[in-house]
Chains A and B, each alone.
Chain A
Amino acid sequence: MRYGTNASACAALVRRDLLLTWRRRGDALNPVLFAVIVVVLFPLALGPEPNQLARISAGIVFVAILLAGLLALDTLFRGDHEDGSLEQLVLSPHPLPLLLGSKIAVHWLTTGLPLIVVAPVLAEMLHLPRSVLPVLLAALALATPLLSLFGAVCVALTVGMRRSGMLLALLVLPLYVPVLIFAAGACNAAQSGLAYLAPLLWLGAALALALVLAPLACAAALRISIS
């Protein structure tokens, strides 16, 4: 008999989830499309004045990406819950937080990373000063995994609900507030020539903490909601 190690189990899960995303690669671009649509709406509503747009561009990009990530959260466990594979995952002999951590990592790779990739385009559409772009990307690189990790805990609580969209938004909002404040705040600080390192470091500290704690919380929440 051959028992897999924890690492090989996580690898199998990562491989499967990546394969599933690949098979449905059309759907994978939906969050990106959504973020682009939101960003396009703002100049239409506010007017094309470049200076005005530039002043609020970082905030708009973050809100658009946050909303797109929120939209994508629903897919994290829904499919697995509907076809019974979530149950099998919980029954696996490997630590559930580790497996869920891998799932969240894949989810970030397939939703968060494309959003970061498209962020320079969004920033350019809103006339964000070039000098702020590196700060924006750094803040996104730290903030989007946080959004995925916090979101996963809330999704785990709403697993099995038929229409959880609005409730999920309500649950994640208070958790997203600090992330949004620090991430957008770093960009705004950079844009007005202030020190922007502190908020980025706070985000990094939060990410380090969340990487450890969020999968544990996610597993605990999942056990509550599948019982």
Chain B
Amino acid sequence: MNTLTLWFHKFGSPPVFHRIAVRLAPWLFGFAVICGLAALYGGLVVAPADYQQSDAYRIIFIHVPCAWMSLFAYFFMAANAFIALVWRIKISEILAMASAPVGAVFTAITLITGSIWGKPMWGTWWTWDARLTSELVLLFLYLGVIGLYNAIEDRRQAARAAAFLALVGIVNVPIVHFSVNWWNTLHQGSTVRLLGPSRIDESMLWPLLLMALATHVWFFASVLVRARVSLVELEGGKEWAREIALGKGEPA
């Protein structure tokens, strides 16, 4: 066994992971909330209004970090899915499945905020823009993974099947993006650029990056909590899980 798999086996052992998750999650949540509030203050109050879009642009402080997260969560899920399928590491199965709903929610927020932003900017709630369409397909990919995971009775088999689908999806995402781009140029549809000027003022940049940090930390915190819960469910019969259930505190 090489050091990498050894490392995985050490931190991937359910009781160790559970202990880390219990200790870490509240701190991560707290950090994410503080960062998020600071970023909101910076974005909604401190940053000046855009010279073209006035105050309507301020939704990017939610929209753009969520859009980044929708992709990041998918990559995180696919990486764990790969580890789960190749090395059959249980904790990776659980992490992959825990990140799917979180990623799906980030994708949904991206679509909703995008459409709210679109109404004042383009005069329509929805436009078949290349990025919006790709994001919608990404949401379907997430829903497929979640649906498949929930449709199979055996939890570990379900996780493996859904992990496989996530990997098929990761190949598909760039293809979809490419094809939708091509389709968009063919139809000469809306050519509105989502992010206006490529140069962004510093007073707008730091809240954006801070919010991106907050969403990343929030993502990891909620994945940890979700993974911890499904780990306890899966390992319900094991000694360490029973000790927790019986309120004997954290296992040694």
Contact = CB atoms under 8 A, between A and B. Distances in A.
Q: Do chains A and B touch in the complex (CB under 8 A)?
A: yes
Nearest to A170: B144
A19 interface: no
A26 B143 CA distance: 35
Contacts of B179: 177-178, 181-182
Sorting the interface of chain B by its residue count into under 10, 10 to 19, 20 to 34 or 35 or more gives: 20 to 34
Contacts of B183: 181, 185
A127 B193 CA distance: 36
Interface in A186-204: 188-189, 194, 199
A-B pairs, top 5 by smallest CB distance, nearest first, are A178-B179, A181-B179, A181-B183, A171-B144, A170-B144
Contacts, number: 69
B140 interface: yes
Interface of A: 153-154, 157-158, 161, 164, 167, 170-171, 173-175, 177-178, 181-182, 185, 188-189, 194, 199, 217, 220-221, 224-225, 227
B176 interface: yes
Given A181-B179, A181-B180, A224-B161, A174 B148 contact: no
Nearest to B133: A177
A177 B141 CA distance: 11
Contact of A171 (B157, B165, B180, B182): B165
B79 interface: no
A185 B186 contact: yes
Given A177-B176, A220-B164, A224-B161, A167 B140 contact: no
Contact of A158 (B141, B151, B168): B151
Contact of A170 (B140, B164, B168, B178): B140
Nearest to B147: A167
Q: From B144, B147, B152, B175, name the one whose CB has the most chain A CB atoms within 10 angstroms.
A: B144
Contacts of A177: 137, 176, 179-180
Interface of B: 137, 140-141, 143-144, 147-148, 151-152, 157, 160-161, 164-165, 168-169, 172, 175-176, 178-180, 182-183, 186
A174 B169 contact: yes
B140 A221 contact: no
Given A174-B137, A185-B182, A225 B161 contact: yes
A153 B167 CA distance: 12
Contacts of B140: 170, 173-174
11 contacts: A157-B148, A167-B147, A171-B147, A171-B148, A175-B172, A177-B137, A177-B180, A181-B179, A185-B183, A224-B160, A225-B161
Given A170-B140, A174-B169, A157 B182 contact: no
Contacts of B143: 170
B186 A175 contact: no
Contacts of A161: 151-152
B51 to A, nearest CB: 37
Contacts of A154: 165
A221 B175 CA distance: 21
Contacts of A158: 148, 151
